[in-house]
Amino acid sequence: MQPKPPSVIAIYPGSFDPITNGHLDLIQRGAKLFDKLIVAILSNEGKQPLFSVEERVEMLHEVVRVYPNVEVDSFDGLLVDYAAAQSATVLLRGIRAISDYEYELQMALMNRRLQPGIETLFMMANEAYSFISSRLIKEVFGLGGNIGGLVPPSVEARLHRRLDKFTNRGA
Ligand code: PNS
Helix, strand, or coil here: 11?
A: strand
pTM of the predicted structure, to 2 decimals: 0.95
What 29-32 contacts at long range (C-beta under 8 Å, 24+ apart), as own/partner pairs, is 29/123, 30/92, 30/123, 31/67, 31/69, 31/70
Q: What is the pLDDT of residues 59-91, one digit of tens each?
A: 999 999 999 999 999 999 999 999 999 999 999
Q: What is the pLDDT of residues 12-48, one digit of tens each?
A: 999 999 999 999 999 999 999 999 999 999 997 777 9
Task: State if residue 123 touches ligand 1 by the CB under 6 angstroms criterion.
Answer: no
Nearest CA to ligand 1 atom 14: 79
In angstroms, how far is the first alpha carbon of the chain from the final one? Answer: 64
